[in-house]
Structure formats: structure tokens, C-alpha cells
Amino acid sequence: MRFLSLLCSTSPAPARAKRTLEIAPAPFRRRRSSSTGAPAVPLPRERRREALQNGLFSLLRRHGGSRRVALQVHGRVVASGLLLRDLSSSSTATLLFNALLRCYALDRLPLEAFLLYKDVQSGSLSASSSVSFNSFTYTFLLNSCVGLGCTVPGVQLHGLTLKLGFESHVYVQTALVYMYVACGSVGEGGKVFDCMPVRNPVTWNVLISGLTKWGRLDLARSLFEEMPVRTVVSWTAIIDGYTRMNRPNEAIHLFRKMVTDDGIAPSEITMLTIFPAIANIGSVKVCQSAHCYGEKIGFNSSDIRVANSLIDLYSKCGCIMSAWKFFEEITDARKNLVSWTSIISAFAMHGMGEEAAQGFDRMEIGGLKPNQVTFLSVLNAFSHGGLVEEGLRFFERMVNVYQLVPETKHYGSLVDMLGRAGRLKEAEKVAVEVPREIANVVIWRTLLGACSFHGDVEMAERATERILEIERGYGGDYVLMYNVFAGAGRFNDAERLRQLMDQATASKVPGHSLV
């Protein structure tokens, strides 16, 4: 574990760090007078320590988002015993300690946060504690708990904060609501919320976002209507809820309402939230006006995520040329891996395998390293474009050159690609070779589809067997298999299957077109 090696290390910086960050003034370096070159009088110990604390603190502020810097500062704190000693309570020490916790909370590193807290609390870092815990400490610790996926440490902190008298502290209580709902304990979060004597918009937003995240859209909506002051975050959260629940028209309606009724300007995040809703309704006109708005307000050029999402949006609205044109307008320096993956996936959607391959090559030349998502997009492009040999070659490259472990979807794409091309034996071989831990029904369903298309009855039976081993309730499988039997003239088998389907009480939802 990186943290433990840090603790044991005598070196102030973690071994993995590429370079040690320069902090002025350095702790044990003697200053030289600039005029004479003679050593200056060393600062008193306390002042020297405070200077170092300040240096580390401002370093954290400047590089707040960097995990490497946080770990380095942590290492420095441990190695130099900075939070230790017989000082009376020092505000700088507390400041530094909290800032470090904040970094861990933002970076979702609960373990590091708790170890730091424990060390200070137990006194191994603070002989008579120069650090005093305050509301900030508990806010950050609670935020660190998010992502643990369990509320146990959070519940303990909850008790502790009550004991310490933070029961009406808005920040601490809001952090509690956040911790509970983010960990899935929506009811507990609601209880804390209900008991709060004072709330602010963030408190409401935290609860609303948590509710939409867990699909409780109606409850979120009523809170949204009830809240006294709605900010852009509130609107974004509720819009996102509708988008996720596949209710794009309501999402777009709310977006318009936000701008016209409340006069609130959408943020970058609001744009990111509304794009999938626009893609869902597939309106080129709305897509274009979203593009224009982004240009006007500057999001398209200031935030690469907005630009990337626009590529995807154009593509999903059927405008591959606009997607391509917009992509090309982004300067190479701004394009990141997601930009390239988005355009490759756009080509994939439109069956343009050659273009996807060219895009991939250009990306590689530009020095970007593809990930699993990039490869999945490329494979899908080859599958939809019928470029089987290229697909197999890229799969091999993904595993051997880039050392990426294929996921179920990569195998699924291969099966689809081989199956479409009628190379059923190879497709079945891939399906059989999928590691057991990640094998799923989709792989076999894909193969069954290909068998049905190419009329291979025996293989279709084998695929159906595999599907039924895993899942029995999906009527589509029976229908496909029925068609295979019927197509081969094996009407008795077809009838037997239909009875089997009735027994399994599988139901097939009748197909319908949205167009």
C-alpha cells in the first residue's frame, strides 16, 4: 500500500514521485544572507515549523487536485513530525491538516484520510496535539466516506459529530446528508435533512441529486418544487434526473423553464446533462441550437467535455458530417482521449470502419494511449463496417501491445463481427473462450442472432442451451430459436419450443417503432 510505505519511509517524499516539490523556506536549510553569503541566523523552531506548514499549505492550495502533491505533503508531514511537538494549539497546523483531508475527500481517498486522522488523534503525530479538530475536519472526513459504498465509518462519524455539538452546523449536517444518500441510504439522509434546523441551497441540492441518482425522481421533483431558492445546480440535478429516467422531453422542458422563468444561465454541467436528452429525441434542430449556445457563451472552447459531448450529440442525431467538422475544428492540443474516442464511436455508429481506423491511427501518432473504451468503439466500427480482419488484428493489438484486459463487451463485439460475416465457427469459438467470470447471456444472444440470420440450426440450439442455463425469462430468445426451427422446416421442434416458452412464462413485449 502506498500510504504505509510512505509512513515507514524516512524520505520526506514518496519513492514514486518524479520530482520533489520545492517548498520555501526549506525546513533545515540555513538561509544565506544575499549580500555577504554568510549563514543567516536560524529562525526559532516554532517559527520555522510554522513557515513550513504555511509552505505546504499553499502548495496544497495551488495543486489541490493533484493526488501526487497530497501524498508528498502527507509524507513530509509524517517525516518531519510537523503536526507533532509540544506546541500549544496552532491554527496553521489545523489548517494544513484540514487542507490535506480536503484533498483526500476530493480525490476520494478515504483510507488516506482516515489514517491521517487516526495518527493525529492517537498522538503519534501530535504528542500533545497541535492540531485541533473542527467542523472542517468532520465535513471533509464525511466526504471521504463517499465512495466507500458502506455507511459504517460514516455512522460512527455521525455519532461523533452529535457528541461534539455539530447537530445544527449546516456544513457538517449537509455533509452527513450527502454521505448517506451517496452511499445509498436515502432514508437516513432524509432523516438528517428533516432534523436540520437550518438548511441552505446546497443541503437541498445534495438531497435532490441523491434521490435522482437512486431513481427516486418523483420525490426529488417535489423537493425541487418545495425548495425556497433554486440554483443552477438544483436545476441541473433535476434535469439530469429526467434525462437518466429516459424522459427527455420533460428534461428539455425544464431546461427552457430554467432559462425563461428563473433567468438562470445553464452551466457547463447543465449542458452536459441536457445533451443526452437531445440525443434521445434526436432533433437536429435542438442539437444545432445547443451548439450555437455553446459557441456564444464560450463553453465549446473553454470546456473540452462540452466539446466532446457535442461530437457525440451530432453523431447520435444522425449528423456524422457535422460531428466530424466540429471535431476537426478542435485544435489538436485540446483534443484528449475522450475526443478521439467520441469521433471513433461516431464513425462506428455510422458503419464507417475505415474512417474509424484512420482516426485511431491519427490518435496514436498524436501520442495518446487508447483505453478499453477506445478499443470497444473501434471494434464496433469494424463490426458495423464489416471489416473482420482489421477487427481481429485490433483485438490482438489491444491485448498484446496495449496489455488491456478485454471486457465482456469486447468479446461481444468480436462475436457480432464474426457472426455478421457468417464466420459462425470462429464466433462460437470466441463465445466459448470468454472467461467464465465475465461471461453473460448477451454474448450467446448475439451468437444466436447470427445463427438465426445464417440458418445454422445446430449451433443455434447450442447457443439457446447456454442462454437458458443463465436466464429463462426473456421471450426474445425463444422467438429467435422458434424462427430458426421454422426456417429449417422443423415445425415439431418449433412447437415444442413454444410450449417450453409458455411453461417458463416468458413474455415477449411486442416490438414497436418510434419512427
Partner DNA sequence: GTAGGGTTAG
Near DNA in 39-98, by CB under 7 A:
94-95, 98
What x-and-dash track marks residues 141-180 binding DNA by CB under 7 A? --x--------------------------xx--xx--x--
| Region binding DNA by CB under 7 A among candidate stretches 341-349, 392-400, 445-453, 502-510 | 341-349
Q: Contact with DNA (CB under 7 A): which of 21, 202, 281, 468?
A: 202
| Region binding DNA by CB under 7 A among candidate stretches 10-18, 30-38, 322-330, 340-348 | 340-348
H helices present in 132-246, as ranges: 135-145, 152-163, 170-182, 186-195, 201-213, 217-226, 232-244
If binding is defined by CB under 7 A, does position 134 make contact with DNA? yes
Where does residue 292 rank: exposed (0-12), middle (13-18), buried (19+ CB within 10 A)? exposed
Near DNA in 424-483, by CB under 7 A:
none
Q: Which is nearer to DNA, 380 or 452 (CB)?
A: 380
Nearest distance in Å: CB 382, DNA: 12
What x-and-dash track marks residues 93-122 binding DNA by CB under 7 A? -xx--xx--x---x----------------
Nearest distance in Å: CB 139, DNA: 4
The Cα 329–Cα 184 span in angstroms is 42
- Among 405, 379, 372, which Cα is nearest to 394's? 379
Nearest distance in Å: CB 117, DNA: 13
Q: Check if the beta carbon of residue 427 is closer than 8 Å to that of residue 404.
A: no
DSSP characters over 220-261: HHHHHHH-S---HHHHHHHHHHHHHTT-HHHHHHHHHHHHHT
The Cα 479–Cα 48 span in angstroms is 78
The Cα 387–Cα 281 span in angstroms is 31
Nearest distance in Å: CB 368, DNA: 11
Q: Which residue has the cell 425544464?
A: 254
Inter-CA distances, 22 with 2, 27, 153, 232, Å: 22, 11, 36, 40
Counts for the chain of helices (H) and strands (E), in that order: 28, 0
Q: Check if the beta carbon of residue 241 is closer than 8 Å to that of residue 207.
A: no
Residue 13 is classified by DSSP as: S
Measured over the CA atoms of residue 343, residue 344, residue 346 and residue 352, the dihedral's sign is positive
Q: Contact with DNA (CB under 7 A): which of 205, 243, 300, 446?
A: 205
Nearest distance in Å: CB 362, DNA: 16
Nearest distance in Å: CB 486, DNA: 28
Q: Contact with DNA (CB under 7 A): which of 129, 236, 322, 446?
A: 236
| Region binding DNA by CB under 7 A among candidate stretches 5-13, 21-29, 332-340, 490-498 | 332-340
Nearest distance in Å: CB 11, DNA: 27
Q: Which is nearer to DNA, 236 or 322 (CB)?
A: 236
Residue 402 is classified by DSSP as: S
Near DNA in 356-395, by CB under 7 A:
371-374, 376-377, 380
DSSP characters over 38-92: PBPPPPPHHHHHHHHHHHHHHHHHHTTT-HHHHHHHHHHHHHHTTT-SSPPP-HH
The Cα 316–Cα 237 span in angstroms is 23
Coil, helix or strand for 198? coil
Near DNA in 302-331, by CB under 7 A:
304-305, 308-309, 312
> Which helix (H) or strand (E) covers residue 281, if one does?
helix 268-281
If binding is defined by CB under 7 A, does position 404 make contact with DNA? no
Q: Which is nearer to DNA, 96 or 497 (CB)?
A: 96
Q: How many CA atoms lie within 13 A of 195 on its CB side?
A: 16
Nine cell digits for residue 406: 478485454
Q: Contact with DNA (CB under 7 A): which of 49, 221, 350, 409?
A: 409
Q: Which is nearer to DNA, 52 or 206 (CB)?
A: 206
Q: Contact with DNA (CB under 7 A): which of 130, 151, 273, 452?
A: 273
Nearest distance in Å: CB 240, DNA: 6
Q: How many residues appear in the chain?
A: 515
If binding is defined by CB under 7 A, does position 338 make contact with DNA? yes
When computed from its CA atoms, the radius of gyration of the chain, rounded to whole angstroms, is 29
Q: Which is nearer to DNA, 80 or 336 (CB)?
A: 336
| Region binding DNA by CB under 7 A among candidate stretches 11-19, 20-28, 300-308, 489-497 | 300-308
Near DNA in 253-272, by CB under 7 A:
267, 269-270, 272
Question: What residues line the site for DNA (CB under 7 A)?
Answer: 94-95, 98-99, 102, 106, 134-136, 139, 143, 170-171, 174-175, 178, 200-203, 205-206, 209, 231-234, 236-237, 240, 267, 269-270, 272-273, 275-276, 304-305, 308-309, 312, 336-339, 341-342, 345, 348-349, 371-374, 376-377, 380, 407, 409
